[in-house]
Structure formats: structure tokens, C-alpha cells
Amino acid sequence: MGTALASLLVAAVLTVSDRGLVFAPVLAPDASRLAWAAVEDDGRVSLQVAPLGEGAVPVRVATFAQQVPTGRRLAMKTMLAGPWSPDGTQLFYLTARDAAGEVEVHVVRADGTGDRPVGPRTGSVLAADWLDAQALLVAHQEAPGFPNVLRRVALADDAVTDVHALAEGARVLDLAVSPDGKWAAVLALEGPPEQRARVLRVIGLGEAADLQVLRGASPGDPVPNFICWSPDGTRLYFTDTHMQAIAYWSPRTKETTMVATDAIAAVPLDLADGTVLIANGSDGGVQAIFADGGERRSLGRGCVACSAAGGKLALVRTGLRGGAVLVADVDREALERGDIGLPAEEIEPPALPPAGGEGEGAAAELPAGMEGEAAASPAAPPSPQGGGGGGEPEQPR
């Protein structure tokens, strides 16, 4: 094998549930720790953190919700947005405020202490991302029928400031702030009920700019999903789930460029000599994509790439009960060889016992926690397990 994959050695945590569910593990910015969401024995989903290395003891830092379906949805939205603060000291997570289903955002230290709600205390937070180590950007709706508004939340004093109001009737599915804090990519459902469409917008923070990048309004149109910024902030990557292709939008040129087809979601991996995309292919394999799609290398099967930081790549081993988490040290040479230690063949997943609760059977087949994506758009193909971006079935407005 090439560069060896190091198991996180938290199998006891990841196998506490026979359902074998692990939601999109995310590396801390310095790649010293990993956060993930795991299904507990009672079906609830918890946020867990552990340092990398042998003998690591995971810490359960939060529970997303007491209601199982709600907890899974909020876990997916949190993990796919990337919960770590830029300095790696805190995480945010979305949680249900009460049985009525209203959602608020919390921050918690990586050791599980200091958990507290921040931002709006009424209505629902639909999505969130870090602006910097001391502030969050949230998409908030005060009440059904009210507009979705982007709001800045300062952690120091919990001050909430309006940033941008979205179009009437829009419902935010996901947002991603560029690393330099200048842009917010917003994925939303827009239009009247009979003509709802997924729209990807890029909004200038600090300037009057609301740029529509894609609108999937008609059959055959691009259906944007899985949004994420390159580490240097020069590209906004997204997946066209209709075409099963990856593209990016440039803040400099304001243009969209196709990168690769037959790929569903990509993780930008920042190396010393440039950025390489690690893509989850539509054939179930993991690929490295170089030079804007001009060159590819197959890296193996049976895993799903979920996040990257500090020259490390976090994946979920989908063919094993418990969804083992693997972390690979990667460099360009190993990627160009197409060998970072992944299995060449996919392992047949073991039969899972029947599980109770709404949606359990379907979810058990998606250990990286992406089962909500396809439901968000009838035109979308079956979704990948891992990557970035978000989505949810539309809720009553």
C-alpha cells in the first residue's frame, strides 16, 4: 500500500449503534481533532469530538435533538456546513429549541464545556456558518411567512445584526461563508409553490451584491447542491446533481466553470503546491481531480471522502458496520500514484438488523448521513454519502 490510513481507533463509539450510522466527520482546522455525529442506542444523534491518535477518548459534546428525525436532519445540516470555528476552539451546532420544532444555534468548546445558545431566541435558524472565530452568520426566519434574513451573531455579547434579506418566499437550505469573510453562498428554494426551484446565490458581505449563480427552474436545468469554498476562497465549488458534475464559481470573474462529470460531491484538499479535489464519484469510488478536471486518479472504493485539513483527509468506511472513520496523510505524490491506502474493491456491507423509528431503514444504508438530500429536489438523483453542502425537504412556510 502507499500512504497508510490511520484508523481513528474509536470503533467502540462508532459501533454503539447497530444501525452503523456516522454523519460526515469533519477535521479541525489544524487537523488535530475530528468531530462527527453518531447515532446512539436510543436513536438520538450526538456530536462527538476526539483527538487523532491511539487511545483517543471521544467526548460527547452535544445532542442535536430529543426527537430522532429532527436530530438527524439537524446533524446533517451542522456537519455538512462544517461546525469548527476557524481557530479550532469551538463548534457550533443546530438543535431543536422545543417540541414545536423551532431551531436555534449553540456554540460549545471542543472539550464539551461552555455549551450555550447564541443568536435569535425566537423563530428558527435554517443554516449557519462561521464568519470568523468570534462571529457566526445565520439564516433566520422569525415565523412562518416571514422572510429569511441573513444575520450576524457576535459571540462576545450575543448581538444580532441584520445583513441581507432574501427574496420573498425563499427558504434557505444551506449557506457557506468564504474563508476571507467577503462572500456568503446561499442555496435556497425560491419561487411560488407550483414553480419552486433550487437557486444558488452569492451575496457580498459588506457590499451591495446579490449574484444569482444557478437556478434549476425547468427540467434539465442544473440543480445546485453540496456547496463549499476552496481553502483560499477563490472558488465556490458546487455539484450539479442533475448532471452529476462538479463546477465552481469565481468571485473574481463572476463566471462558472465545469470541472468534472460523473462526480457527485468534492472535498477541496489544500496542498503546498495547489488545491486538489477529492471527489466522490457517481460510480461509488473516490477520485483525485487535478488541473480543473484535466487529470484524474482513482483512489479506491468502499469509502466516502468527507473533509480535509492540514494535509489530512477524513473518510468514512461505508462497508463496515459502525462506519469506521479513517484519516489519511496525503501528499501530491501519493495522489498522483492513485494510492493513499484505500481498498481497491468495495466491501459488501453486512446485513443490518431492523431498526425502529421514522426513516431508520433507509438511513441505515447511508452511513455518512446524506439521506435528506434527494428529498429536497424531486429532480435530484440519489445523493452521495459525504461531501459538502446541504438540503432538506421543504417545510411549510
b vs e for 15-54, b when ≥16 Cβ sit within 10 Å of the residue's Cβ?
A: bebbbbbbbbbbbbbebebbbbbbbbeebbbbbbbbebee
What average pLDDT does this structure show over 338-349? 62
Dump pLDDT digits (tens) for 232-243.
Answer: 999 999 999 888
CA geometry: angle at 315 spanning 228 and 372, to 5°? 60
pLDDT of residue 389 exceeding 60: no
pLDDT of residue 91 exceeding 60: yes
pLDDT of residue 299 exceeding 60: yes
The pLDDT > 70 percentage for the chain reads 76
Choose the most confident range, by mean pLDDT, from 14-18, 34-38, 176-180.
176-180
The pLDDT of residue 67 is 75
Quote the DSSP letter at residue 191.
S
When comparing pLDDT for 110 and 242, which is higher?
A: 110
When comparing pLDDT for 37 and 396, which is higher?
A: 37
Q: How far apart are CA 179 and CA 118, in angstroms?
A: 22
When comparing pLDDT for 92 and 369, which is higher?
A: 92
User: Model's pTM, two decimal places?
Assistant: 0.82
pLDDT of residue 365 exceeding 60: no
pLDDT of residue 259 exceeding 80: yes
pLDDT of residue 372 exceeding 50: no
pLDDT of residue 345 exceeding 80: no
- Please say whether the dihedral angle defined by the alpha carbons of residues 140, 142, 145 and 146, taken in this order, is positive or negative: negative
Q: How far apart are CA 104 and CA 96, in angstroms?
A: 6
pLDDT of residue 371 exceeding 50: no
Q: How far apart are CA 75 and CA 59, in angstroms?
A: 16
What average pLDDT does this structure show over 62-89? 90
The pLDDT of residue 392 is 47
pLDDT band at 101; cut points 50, 70, 90: confident
pLDDT of residue 158 exceeding 90: yes
Contact in structure between 81 and 390 (CB atoms under 8 Å): yes
Dump pLDDT digits (tens) for 32-63.
Answer: 999 988 877 777 889 999 888 767 778 899 99
Contact in structure between 301 and 344 (CB atoms under 8 Å): yes
Q: How deeply is 247 buried, as exposed, middle or buried, from its count of CB atoms within 10 A (0-12, 13-18, 19+)?
A: buried
Contact in structure between 110 and 61 (CB atoms under 8 Å): yes
pLDDT of residue 29 exceeding 90: yes
Radius of gyration, CA atoms only, the chain? 19
The pLDDT of residue 208 is 66
What the block records as the C-alpha cell of 223 is 440543480
Query: Average model confidence (pLDDT) for the chain?
Result: 78
pLDDT of residue 318 exceeding 80: no
When comparing pLDDT for 65 and 201, which is higher?
A: 201
- Please say whether the dihedral angle defined by the alpha carbons of residues 224, 279, 21 and 177, taken in this order, is positive or negative: negative
pLDDT of residue 346 exceeding 90: no
Phi then psi for residue 310, to 5 deg, are 55, 35
Q: How far apart are CA 223 and CA 380, in angstroms?
A: 7
Which runs of consecutive H residues, i.e. helices, occur in 61-202? Answer: 68-81
What average pLDDT does this structure show over 304-311? 88
Contact in structure between 176 and 236 (CB atoms under 8 Å): yes
pLDDT of residue 321 exceeding 60: no
Measured torsion, CA atoms of residues 308, 129, 391, 109, in degrees rounded to the nearest 10: 70
E runs forming strands in 101-252: 103-109, 116-118, 124-132, 135-141, 148-154, 160-165, 171-177, 183-190, 197-204, 210-216, 224-229, 236-240, 245-249
Q: How far apart are CA 333 and CA 231, in angstroms?
A: 20
pLDDT of residue 373 exceeding 70: no
Q: How far apart are CA 28 and CA 325, in angstroms?
A: 15
The pLDDT of residue 24 is 79
Domains and their CATH numbers in the chain: 5-376 (2.120.10.30)
The pLDDT of residue 162 is 95
What average pLDDT does this structure show over 12-31? 61
The count of other CB atoms within 10 Å of the CB of residue 394 is 14
Range name among 50-59, 61-70, 139-148, 163-172 with the lowest pLDDT average: 50-59
Q: How far apart are CA 53 and CA 63, in angstroms?
A: 24
Quote the DSSP letter at residue 353.
P
